[in-house]
Amino acid sequence: MTVITRFPPSPTGYLHIGSARTALFSWLYARKHGGRFVLRIEDTDRERSSEESVQEILDGMSWLGLDYDEGPYFQTQRMNRYQEVIDQLLDAGKAYHCYCTREELDEMREQQRARGDKPRYDGRCRHRSQPPQDIPPVVRFKNPLDGNVVIDDLVKGRITISNNELDDLIIARSDGTPTYNFTVVVDDMDMQITHVIRGDDHVNNTPRQINILKALGVEPPRYAHVPMILGEDGKRLSKRHGAVSVMQYRDDGYLPQALVNYLMRLGWSHGDQEIFTRQEMIDLFDISSVQRGSAVFNPEKLLWLNYEYIKAGKVDELRDHARWHFENAGINIDEQANWEEVFRVNQQRSKTLLELVDRSLFFFREIDGYDAKSVNKHFKGQAGEILVELRGQLEHVRSDWGK
RNA sequence: GCUCCCUUCGUCUAGUGGUUAGGACGCCGGCCUCUCACGUCGGUAACAGGGGUUCGAGUCCCCUAGGGAGCGCCA
């Protein structure tokens, strides 16, 4: 059996650091097992989806080096297929039309909450005999009434959920468009996904999806629910914790390999090893030894790792990653004669590429001014004479520069 | 509220019944050094709490507490 994993972002913003980690795990799993990695864009929410986001995600993945073997597929291009499966379910009596109004549903949920119950649809339209003419119906999936759903999760272990905790979820809206939990199932089925690796905010969706898969007569894939990444305050990582966009890290002068390394080590470890080459990641990473609990994102450690990568980096590779940063500073690094020497002096004292660029600038361009405060503090007394003298001395050592 | 999941230094983690509970980041200090660094040596700091099981529990079981997630015609 060929392993097929997938990464299904919705293009509603930047590529989030948490999504990137899940993508990395999926990619690693596929690469490790000689399988395929599928990219699928979940763009059914037309309101919030955008072309720019798609591009941003694509850029992020390529920057991280996460190449995919199939896709990108777009859900909006698969609408006919979803409709087909909905009809199939309807015909088989495994789904039904529901004419409940939002008001009616709200009221029902309110009563359930008041009773201390979990709000869920009570299936009142399952046997509706005379459909009202003026209400466009949604389609609901007939969830089994009893029994359990068991997930043998690759990271969480066995999870058992009782079917009476689940309700008849909507698989098609009143305008006919399919909903998330349904499209995921159809896509994973059609794309023959064997391993679903995703955030553990999806564990509660999993039993529903398994039930639909079973109704469709398909064997569910294996699941691996990886924990969320939290901010310093223990809350789910979000913008208020600082940078959460992958591309922001690129802009801030991080090396992709450092980010990838950090992300993989977050919630996973291999003995005392901290630094891994790409190949080691593929060989050593094991999804089933990912930590079960969530992990707090630690920017300091990422910074340290980045520093390690810069210190140990080959100058030409560093130059490739720093090229556009230099361009931003108005320097064409490829035209600089002594750039290698400059890199070698600075790479051991720069924690980011931005710092490296900053420290290198005065080697590459004329000084256009002095810091007033420092001038007042140091340029006094004999300082001028000494500097002139020093300059004279430097003329002689110039030919030995770097030796 | 209900359901599911989780719980070792501040943070990321090792640990699979017997360890002085190990490593890493951070922080503090020593050494190296004509500067800044690199490097290097050392220190700081944890098994959430309570019951069991066992000769012996961070490791197994139960309870409590705390945290996270989900409960949409969002994904």
Condensed to tens digits (0 to 9), the pLDDT of residues A27-86 reads 999 999 999 999 999 998 888 888 999 999 999 999 999 999 997 999 999 999 999 999
CA of A299 to C1' of B28 (A): 21
Condensed to tens digits (0 to 9), the pLDDT of residues A326-343 reads 999 888 888 888 888 889
Condensed to tens digits (0 to 9), the pLDDT of residues A122-172 reads 888 888 777 777 888 999 999 999 999 999 999 999 999 999 999 999 999
Condensed to tens digits (0 to 9), the pLDDT of residues A110-122 reads 999 888 888 999 8
> Which member of A118, A235, A239, A314 is catalytic?
A239
CA of A203 to C1' of B73 (A): 22
pLDDT for the residue A401: 47
Of A66-75, A233-242, A311-320, A392-401, the poorest mean pLDDT is in: A392-401
What residue is closest to B39 (Cα–C1')? Answer: A348
* Chain B bases closer than 7 A to any CB of the protein: 1-8, 10-14, 22-26, 36-39, 67-75
CB A143 within 8 A of CB A168: yes
ipTM score: 0.93
pLDDT for the residue A373: 66
DSSP A259-290: HHHHHHHTT--BTTB----HHHHHHH--GGGS
pLDDT for the residue A403: 39
Tokens found for residue A325: 């940063």
CA of A339 to C1' of B24 (A): 33
Stretch A346-361: mean pLDDT: 91
pLDDT band at A400 (very low <50, low <70, confident <90, very high): very low
Q: What does the mean pLDDT of chain A come to? A: 90
pLDDT for the residue A397: 58
**A298: nt with nearest C1' to CA:** B11
What residue is closest to B14 (Cα–C1')? Answer: A271
Q: How many CB atoms lie within 10 A of CB A71?
A: 16
CA of A303 to C1' of B13 (A): 18
A289 has a pLDDT exceeding 80: yes
Pairing of strands A222-226, A195-199: parallel
Stretch A254-273: mean pLDDT: 95
CA of A353 to C1' of B35 (A): 23
**A44: nt with nearest C1' to CA:** B75
Q: Which of A158, A167, A147, A156 is nearest to A208 (CA)?
A: A167
Asked whether the CA dihedral A364, A369, A370, A371 is positive or negative, the reply is negative
Residue with tokens 């039309």: A97
pLDDT band at A374 (very low <50, low <70, confident <90, very high): low
Q: Determine the Cα–Cα distance for residues A295 and A257; give it in Å rounded to an integer.
A: 20
What residue is closest to B12 (Cα–C1')? Answer: A266
**A262: nt with nearest C1' to CA:** B12
For the segment(s) A1-73+227-312, the CATH number from 1.10.3720.10, 3.30.420.40, 1.10.150.120, 3.40.50.620 is: 3.40.50.620
What residue is closest to B7 (Cα–C1')? Answer: A293
A269 has a pLDDT exceeding 80: yes
pTM, rounded to two decimals: 0.91
- Whether A239 is a known active-site residue: answer yes
**A98: nt with nearest C1' to CA:** B73
